[in-house]
Structure 1
């Protein structure tokens, strides 16, 4: 039986296009993909609920609900509600998120490791009030947060993780935790095109936003991409944002994203399965045809 990746909805809420996202999720289910994830932009939990109501068998994950945006017990109640009514198809992703998200919600983050530990403890402690809870999946990139997820959560779900470093992290997970069903996924920006040079160009352009987020740059620096991050930070400091795509090396791109022809992307998907990770493809939208790339990802396993 062939292994298939998960897919993200790209965004959780696009004004005027929410129904299109639900229809897309139904098509993902029809084609037998195992999981669809709703990223944290917008209300990821509300979108996950709508997808659960429109589908019957596919796993659905909210990934991720920022912990500073919702009270822990309230989120546990919502997760338990969706867990029960979906017959266990729902996974609840939580995480710290990033500075731009905190600004939108006017919240002040604290100490990420301590706050995540306390937040999960509060959720777990509410079980008599909530009943059986949804599996808690923690967003994590760096080692300390990854190890905390292994300790206290039911799974871990980084985004844009370096595959080579992720393999080392996965290798540290105790065998009994994996045997008990501990989930490991990774959200991966994906561009598919018959012309690999076009795919490379589109991918480079698409990552400029994330290069502006210090938490991502710090992570990529910590796993060895010092030269690339130094160059990006110099371009950001000088206001030369248009130079950033050219500063992203193919080595960085091939370890953090998936791009190229369908066969090249499928090979990349298999590389994640080989290290014990469910790859969750995040289609990169193109201005000319926002739906075209979703269709190319769906067609990978026709």
Structure 2
């Protein structure tokens, strides 16, 4: 059997529909019929029963499929492995993430990446918010999903994978917890948690501002190191914290309330990597991440589908 005959036969055995098989194989429907007729003449028996209502494998067709499908899959895997090696897409790739929902996305992208590049090994790890770029610069991770904005000359910003409305996380007993929405100006009447560590000033001001848009000072609370600190401190009434609205799905618990902002820009999460250490593996992961996000409706819709 020639390669195109094997691929058309296996696709038809999976789809059991000549039109969908033709679409997947990138050929005309008549070409699928001609290929199948040629195979059946060569083998001397029908491989499919078909009429106007259904297509089904015969017993011999099922036997043929069971015999050649594993070998075909193995050939595809070896070709993919050789191609990856030729392009340099082999070895270890370490990917960082900042929160639960970015971790979910990265794990799903990693499955696609591993299937497409079987010669690679992936290591996924969380990056603490108090040192957002340290692991990238030290080489502990090769790329990561992180919150924008970012203005770091040595780092490359890749595709935006997630865009989320902003919400305010506060104790359920707080007076603003009963509001349908809050404003950035309302922060002047609360204590805002801050972030410890080597956080760029632009990033800090965007996510944890010191004053409202009209210039009113925002009381500053305890500095946090780990994301888990936020949940504990807010529950204890030590302050409030701006977060992505998706946090309500991942971190909801008694005593916490998520109230949407009505005037804050969305929080965007993008892939970031050191410009000097960009590799074929990094580029491939970024491309697959972009394709994965786009296939699920884009950065604003992706979390509804993972």
TM-score by structure 2 length?
Answer: 0.22
Question: Would you tell me which structure has more helix in proportion to its own residues?
Answer: 1
Question: Would you tell me which structure has more strand in proportion to its own residues?
Answer: 2
TM-score by structure 1 length?
Answer: 0.22
Highest RCO, 1 vs 2 (Cα 8 Å, sep ≥ 6): 2
Q: Greater CA radius of gyration, 1 or 2?
A: 2
